[in-house]
Copies of this chain bind each other. A is one copy, B any other.
């Protein structure tokens, strides 16, 4: 008897091939390849002893210790959410009261990717629209694609998404009669993945004003993804987009401890407009009844003790050296190549490099094959960071991560990559 096929859902067919999963697997398995690809953090800097100490304090034999291994609530651990308010106040340089939210508006998730997915589930019907920077975080493009959303790229420069271009796109959409389909503007506000670009302060104000003004048929939400905010190596951190919205009803703030603390613990959080909270609780409740208690207690303990803040200061020093190593190597190996340019990020994990138009960087390109097979160096092709068929898509860019490798290896990786580019040129 032959085996009848499984008939999958429409959703499964929408879920595009997971470039990120492919890259992460490669990054973990091909240890002889220098990875300028994976958005992993540097393992050497992971807070092993901090977590060990936290667990020793938390996992006691008394009832409180036992509760660490019990179910929690869907919204997340109360004491963690209390600590998150203090943490947010420190980042915004204001008092917890001035944040003008309560812990009721905070939901803890297993990585911010989970929040991004829950928001997509709760908000987007097929054909609904999300506006994004060009380029933007490619994993979220996959998530949006998976729920059938239309993603429209907005022109972006070294100061982040261009506000006049955003207005122009909204005008186009309105003229096409689709303004009622616009649900969200997505912005990675600091050190965008992949471009390393930060949205400047005046645009943070403007985008809130634009979202409000264009909320003619329904609310247009801004999703501020601040995953890299604390990884700043230069300059002063300004206020979030979120705090520019005094109503607290237009901006969703997504934050994670994956980059600044540990991706293997998977604790993140969102701050939500009040009337979005029940929807996210319902969606998350269907998914997992809440994130693991143990992991939430570890992060809460680290914030409370002040050791998290110390840890982030250490990370900044360590990543600053690696960013500088990559930029120095770029100068050394790429500056004589005509038509090659790159951005100098003030934080995050990525340097964004543009080659001449005719040199394609995609997974199927001669450059990618030569780099990975002959030179043993890996990067992320830039084309995946644009919505498919966007007129803004470029195919000659690369995301280069200085997250994983040591400074010397970063230099060697950049040398190899320049060899591959020279070979193809």
Question: Which residues of A are interface residues toward B (Cβ below 8 A)?
Answer: 1, 3-12, 15-18, 20-21, 24-25, 28, 40-41, 43-44, 46-49, 51-52, 55-56, 59-61, 63, 65-74, 110-111, 113-114, 117, 121-125, 128, 139, 142-143, 146-147, 180, 183, 212, 215-219, 221, 247, 249, 258, 262-266, 273, 275-276, 279, 281-283, 285-289, 291-295
Contact = CB atoms under 8 A, between A and B. Distances in A.
Given A4-B215, A41-B70, A49-B61, A12 B293 contact: no
A279 B10 CA distance: 12
A6 B70 contact: no
A3 B43 contact: no
Given A8-B123, A8-B279, A292 B295 contact: yes
A24 B71 CA distance: 9
Contact of A18 (B5, B11, B60, B281): B281
A288 B111 contact: yes
A226 to B, nearest CB: 18
A80 to B, nearest CB: 13
A287 B114 contact: yes
Contacts of A60: 48
A293 to B, nearest CB: 4
Contacts of A15: 279, 282-283, 286
B143 A286 contact: yes
Contact of A68 (B65, B139, B264, B289): B264
B40 A66 contact: no
